[in-house]
Chain A
């Protein structure tokens, strides 16, 4: 419990500066069926404005062999680029690893939007002439830097399920358990189990393509 980092470190030496690897999302592209449950549950739970998708399902190769879906929330990066570039420190790591946003500090510069490889930062009140308004993103259903469950928190950030001991809404409703959320150790166990079950070689995906059998 006293140990902060649960990601094993290679070798000894000074530990690199990074957040404690605690709360994480894992998206299993072998299971996501693009049902949209996560998108709808999130929008309903957090009253997300139209046009903003705090979690969005992306589909590649639609309609063809190799069609793959992946749901993309804020991935709560251990070394978050958005945190690194924010000029006013509106974005920060919580002790539990969640990447949090303070909407009252945000100046709408958009640096986080450029830095994030997942498209998590979005700007609901953007206008035609460059003014962006305040950034909005997936909060891991952990609300924001307000009194938990307060009216202000609800209005600015949405739901605070983490403070209730619950997981984010999206992962809670995922039809196929493609979207796994929780403590990194627990999530890693799930991933390890699936990788072990799927294995490599006979029966694993790609086997037929590699050895020319069937599809």
Chain B
């Protein structure tokens, strides 16, 4: 998201999954939709059939998605930048770039050209392991078949320079002129139910809802939204400084428990941790997670199922499991990867002892003494909240509506104000009139609306913005330029507003800055003013090739911290060590040792299987799903297996580098022999838990809650490594070795 935000202005998928039906080329890189977004394959395969769309699968593994590709490219994990720059090099050399788009709507093409020049075909082929002919084929295919879309997910982001990788995908689409048009776009597929919604409403340690950040002006804004005195908010924190300091991330919170506070960005260790619908076996360095879970004073796990968190730590007490209702047991709204909002009805009231998330939250607020503030915002108290929440399992429908109204009221920055409960519910009633290719409604009271009123939705009459940055339609119909986030001028004096003639029709015919206070003025007058004059409230700017405010202003290739090609470390090293990032120190260069690969010669990569999701607690408790995929395994190439004396179905240890602990971590797993992986790679799905380094944790589950399937967690052996900007874990490319037990 940080990558997209730092190029275009918003950190979100620019087009939408249905729009892929309009694509003529589809590059799927670091993503496996056949496994992770099965429904999206309907759109991809429809494009393949109806448009003769060229489907290109770029992946270290020949995945289920690769089976449907016209062209499969086996890419060494983590070398995307070299590959994409290899493509851009060819496109520029042949003059295939969209010169008009680049001149009118982008900043610092020269800066990009300078960096890209380092990746001639030979260099790109050497770094990536992709034959030169294939790089040329892909460049030509995408240039000759426009509009084209680039689809990615964790394969692009889970690297030490992941934010840079993502930006190169954006840059490719800018060079090809594939932005802001149907069938084009940067289509990152987000991977959890309503994860886009979670990040939109502030589920990150560096921001309040709506990506306002956590600086003073952001807190002042929400003090008005929530109708609580700003000073009261300050009083909840140690001091103003800590209040405005980004917190720990999900990737490294445990270091806040384990490390000496002198090394941390705060003066005390973390004492308690609360997991709210999040697994621990999806966190890399899980052996350190385990240690932290043993050291904290209090663990709370809010979840419908007993997760890995409950059984991983060796401790006798201090773990509290709060049964939570699933999304079928409560009314809720969600935001999907398309930026669509949807109202979802409750199917059944909460079963057994489960309580809805909101009931649990209000109960906590009540006991901690801020119920009054919690259920209230500038327009009044949420309706329907009982006088005491004790023993109450769920809140009525009208409360959920009011929670959305509060979000509508406050999150103006991303245009979350137009998706009212009434409009969303009405769309559900009229779902049948929305066109499958455009998501636009024809007829009925929803005529002209787009399904989900994708944000930004600037008013309760606005139809939503299914395709971002599309400047060939008026703002009132979903048009907009790039977001003028960085003001009218770059530090080097270049103009950051769109060029003359490049603007949504019905407004000014060139670039313009963001409407003053459009995100802060809760009367929404600035927004209304902009809309009435055909202007997008967030301005009409340029997309950046050069994001001067983050590491690697123009992205560059960097070898993984645990690189299988040590000779490339010299020319393409990782970053310098960082003293503090999200309150923890972050090692890079000091851990990028050339001799890791001598002792750990195989690339370790992880990913998903279609039967499971995330930590797998829910799925491994489902008999039907476990019947389909009963046990964890590693994918091993036939040659690697034979060289190690292993046959299909044998058990072995997979071990990982010592990193911070001075000891190798290891997992005891079954071997699945397959050519999905090359002879240099081991793949392990990450959904399993309930075993740790060969030991079963079965006896630690409460009576009757052992899942149908337990197994080793891939994250026990994933290596140390984090993205320089987001601290996303580098779980797509580590190193490992096989250790076969001796015959007894």
Given A64-B675, A65-B67, A214-B137, 6 other A-B residues pairs in contact with their CB atoms under 8 A: A39-B628, A63-B674, A197-B49, A198-B49, A202-B52, A203-B52
Q: Is A33 within 8 A of B38, CB to CB?
A: yes
Note all chain B residues with C-beta closer than 8 A to A37: 38
Q: Is A65 within 8 A of B34, CB to CB?
A: no
Q: Least Cβ distance of A57 to chain B in Å?
A: 9
**Does A67 interact with chain B (Cβ within 8 Å)?**
yes
Q: Is A215 within 8 A of B72, CB to CB?
A: yes
**Does A89 interact with chain B (Cβ within 8 Å)?**
no
Stretch at the interface among B198-206, B496-504, B619-627: B619-627
A175: contacting residue among B39, B71, B624, CB under 8 A: B39
**Does A30 interact with chain B (Cβ within 8 Å)?**
yes
Note all chain A residues with C-beta closer than 8 A to B625: 36, 40
Q: Is A33 within 8 A of B623, CB to CB?
A: no
Q: Least Cβ distance of B467 to chain A in Å?
A: 23
Q: Which of A33-69 contact B (CB under 8 A)?
A: 33-37, 39-40, 43-44, 50, 62-69
How far is B624's CA from A50's CA once the two chains are assembled, in angstroms?
A: 8
A-B contact pairs, 27 of them (CB 8 A): A33-B34, A33-B68, A34-B610, A35-B34, A35-B38, A35-B610, A36-B610, A40-B628, A50-B623, A50-B627, A63-B62, A63-B674, A64-B62, A65-B72, A66-B67, A67-B66, A69-B64, A175-B38, A176-B41, A176-B42, A197-B49, A197-B50, A198-B49, A208-B70, A214-B71, A215-B70, A215-B72
**Does A31 interact with chain B (Cβ within 8 Å)?**
yes
Q: Assuming the A-B contacts A33-B64, A43-B624, are A62 and B42 also in contact, with contact meaning beta carbons closer than 8 angstroms in the complex?
A: no
How far is B49's CA from A196's CA once the two chains are assembled, in angstroms?
A: 9
**Does B366 interact with chain A (Cβ within 8 Å)?**
no
Note all chain A residues with C-beta closer than 8 A to B228: none
Note all chain B residues with C-beta closer than 8 A to A194: 49
**Does B45 interact with chain A (Cβ within 8 Å)?**
yes
Note all chain A residues with C-beta closer than 8 A to B50: 197
**Does A177 interact with chain B (Cβ within 8 Å)?**
yes
Nearest residue (CB) in B for A34 is B64
Q: Is B64 within 8 A of A67, CB to CB?
A: yes
Nearest first, the 6 A-B pairs at minimum CB distance are A203-B52, A67-B67, A175-B38, A63-B676, A35-B38, A33-B34
Chain B contact residues, majority secondary structure: helix
Q: Which of B663-683 contact A (CB under 8 A)?
A: 674-677
Note all chain A residues with C-beta closer than 8 A to B67: 65-69
Q: Is A33 within 8 A of B52, CB to CB?
A: no
Note all chain B residues with C-beta closer than 8 A to A33: 34, 38, 41, 64-65, 68
Note all chain A residues with C-beta closer than 8 A to B70: 208, 214-215
Q: Is B675 within 8 A of A39, CB to CB?
A: no
Binary A-proximity of B46-79 (CB < 8 A = 1, otherwise 0): 0001101000000000101111111110000000
How far is B49's CA from A208's CA once the two chains are assembled, in angstroms?
A: 15
Q: Least Cβ distance of A129 to chain B in Å?
A: 26
How far is B69's CA from A62's CA once the two chains are assembled, in angstroms?
A: 14
Q: Which of B1-52 contact A (CB under 8 A)?
A: 34-35, 38-39, 41-42, 45, 49-50, 52
Note all chain A residues with C-beta closer than 8 A to B34: 33-35
Note all chain B residues with C-beta closer than 8 A to A69: 64, 67
Binary B-proximity of A66-95 (CB < 8 A = 1, otherwise 0): 111100000000000000000000000000
**Does B611 interact with chain A (Cβ within 8 Å)?**
yes
Note all chain A residues with C-beta closer than 8 A to B49: 194, 197-198
Interface size on A, residues (CB 8 A): 31
Task: Pick the most buried of A36, A66, A69: most chain B CB atoms within 10 A of its CB.
Answer: A36
Interface size on B, residues (CB 8 A): 32
How far is B606's CA from A51's CA once the two chains are assembled, in angstroms?
A: 29
Q: Which of A180-215 contact B (CB under 8 A)?
A: 194, 197-198, 202-203, 208, 214-215
How far is B675's CA from A65's CA once the two chains are assembled, in angstroms?
A: 10
Q: Least Cβ distance of B481 to chain A in Å?
A: 35
Q: Which of B599-637 contact A (CB under 8 A)?
A: 610-611, 623-625, 627-628
How far is B611's CA from A63's CA once the two chains are assembled, in angstroms?
A: 18
Note all chain A residues with C-beta closer than 8 A to B69: 215
How far is B62's CA from A67's CA once the two chains are assembled, in angstroms?
A: 10
Note all chain A residues with C-beta closer than 8 A to B35: 35
Q: Which of B146-174 contact A (CB under 8 A)?
A: none
Q: Least Cβ distance of A38 to chain B in Å?
A: 11
Q: Assuming the A-B contacts A197-B49, A215-B71, are A175 and B41 also in contact, with contact meaning beta carbons closer than 8 angstroms in the complex?
A: yes
Nearest residue (CB) in B for A30 is B45
Note all chain A residues with C-beta closer than 8 A to B611: 36
Note all chain B residues with C-beta closer than 8 A to A40: 624-625, 628
How far is B72's CA from A31's CA once the two chains are assembled, in angstroms?
A: 17
Note all chain A residues with C-beta closer than 8 A to B624: 39-40, 43-44
Q: Least Cβ distance of B94 to chain A in Å?
A: 18
How far is B489's CA from A16's CA once the two chains are assembled, in angstroms?
A: 81
How far is B52's CA from A202's CA once the two chains are assembled, in angstroms?
A: 9
Q: Is A62 within 8 A of B674, CB to CB?
A: yes
How far is B436's CA from A177's CA once the two chains are assembled, in angstroms?
A: 14
How far is B539's CA from A107's CA once the two chains are assembled, in angstroms?
A: 76
Q: Least Cβ distance of B20 to chain A in Å?
A: 13
Nearest residue (CB) in A for B140 is A214
Note all chain B residues with C-beta closer than 8 A to A198: 49
Note all chain B residues with C-beta closer than 8 A to A197: 49-50
How far is B72's CA from A58's CA once the two chains are assembled, in angstroms?
A: 22
Note all chain B residues with C-beta closer than 8 A to A175: 38-39, 41-42
Nearest residue (CB) in A for B34 is A33
Note all chain A residues with C-beta closer than 8 A to B628: 36, 39-40
How far is B54's CA from A214's CA once the two chains are assembled, in angstroms?
A: 11
How far is B65's CA from A63's CA once the two chains are assembled, in angstroms?
A: 10
Note all chain B residues with C-beta closer than 8 A to A65: 62, 67, 72
Task: Pick the most buried of B64, B67, B69, B624: most chain A CB atoms within 10 A of its CB.
Answer: B67
Q: Is A176 within 8 A of B675, CB to CB?
A: no
Q: Least Cβ distance of A20 to chain B in Å?
A: 31
Q: Least Cβ distance of B15 to chain A in Å?
A: 20
Q: Least Cβ distance of B521 to chain A in Å?
A: 44
Q: Is A43 within 8 A of B41, CB to CB?
A: no
How far is B675's CA from A204's CA once the two chains are assembled, in angstroms?
A: 26
How far is B67's CA from A63's CA once the two chains are assembled, in angstroms?
A: 8
Q: Least Cβ distance of B613 to chain A in Å?
A: 13
Binary B-proximity of A165-179 (CB < 8 A = 1, otherwise 0): 000000000011100
Note all chain B residues with C-beta closer than 8 A to A202: 52
How far is B50's CA from A194's CA once the two chains are assembled, in angstroms?
A: 9
Note all chain B residues with C-beta closer than 8 A to A215: 69-72
How far is B301's CA from A44's CA once the two chains are assembled, in angstroms?
A: 29
Q: Least Cβ distance of A148 to chain B in Å?
A: 25
Note all chain A residues with C-beta closer than 8 A to B610: 34-36
Nearest residue (CB) in A for B133 is A214
How far is B623's CA from A68's CA once the two chains are assembled, in angstroms?
A: 26
Q: Least Cβ distance of B141 to chain A in Å?
A: 8
Nearest residue (CB) in A for B676 is A63
Note all chain B residues with C-beta closer than 8 A to A30: 45
How far is B49's CA from A199's CA once the two chains are assembled, in angstroms?
A: 9
